[in-house]
Structure 1
Amino acid sequence: MLTDVGQVEIEKLDYHHYLPLFFDGLCEMTFPYEFFARQGIHDMLEHGGNKILPVLPQLIIPIKNALNLRNRQVICVTLKVLQHLVVSAEMVGKALVPYYRQILPVLNIFKNMNGE
């Protein structure tokens, strides 16, 4: 990851600042913005470990916003990010349960479409 002064190790980044910022980028549909958002999320989830769980509440609104766009590409990317998020650190899956009512309803619209 690059900053004004050069490279910084991902593990040393402020996860409370940068991870929600990248999750906000899930709504992006134009290159290169959507690419940077996905790559930033992927890199931070790969290296975040115990820094991820405390940030989880800040990620719910960006996830909900992305799903509410109802754009198939954005929804697919967001679901892949959710899959990665769940396996990125211990207890993240369990910690997501209270937020299901916020992030899952929009998926009901798509559940019966089957590639239409």
Structure 2
Amino acid sequence: MRVKTRSLPSLIIVEIEKLDYHHYLPLFFDGLCEMTFPYEFFARQGIHDMLEHGGNKILPVIPQLIIPIKNALNLRNQQVICVTLKVLQHLVVSAEMVGEALVPYYRQILPILNIFKNKNGELPQES
């Protein structure tokens, strides 16, 4: 991750693998509620980058991700729901046992999806 600010003349470089996942991953998941560019882009890209490189650091953070996921789904915005579902798909395949770790939280995540289950072809496609 590279951060360059105008007030600091130096470039701060931190490898994604060295980030504190307990701090940054929930922060990016909070950004799932964003609908304005570039905030929604940064949140989505940050999540995907961290999931891609997180490995065994992801599983211990699962409990901290449930509330941001639930908040995003509760917006009932089709774009946000599509992005959140794609993030959930990536989350499940990102590390061993993540899918199993989500099972205790199904009661919090699944009810809102029941509202949208019949809108399969009507949701906007996002690449």
- Tell me the TM-score normalised to structure 2 length: 0.86
Deviation at 1:4, TM superposition (A): 7.5
3-state SS in 1 of match to 2:63: helix
3-state SS in 2 of match to 1:114: coil
Deviation at 1:109, TM superposition (A): 0.5
What is aligned with 1:51? 57
| Separation in 2, partners of 1:18, 1:7 | 15
| Structure 1 unmatched runs, 5+ | none
CA-to-aligned-CA distance 1:49-96 (integer Å, 9 cap, x gap): 000000000000000000000000000000000000000000000000
* Greater Rg over alpha carbons, structure: 2
- Tell me the TM-score normalised to structure 1 length: 0.94
3-state SS in 2 of match to 1:6: strand
What is aligned with 1:37? 43
> How many equivalent pairs are there?
115
**RMSD between aligned residues:** 2.6
Q: 1:41 to 1:3 in 2, by over 3 A?
A: farther
Deviation at 1:7, TM superposition (A): 1.2
| Separation in 1, partners of 2:107, 2:9 | 37
Q: 1:91 to 1:3 in 2, by over 3 A?
A: farther
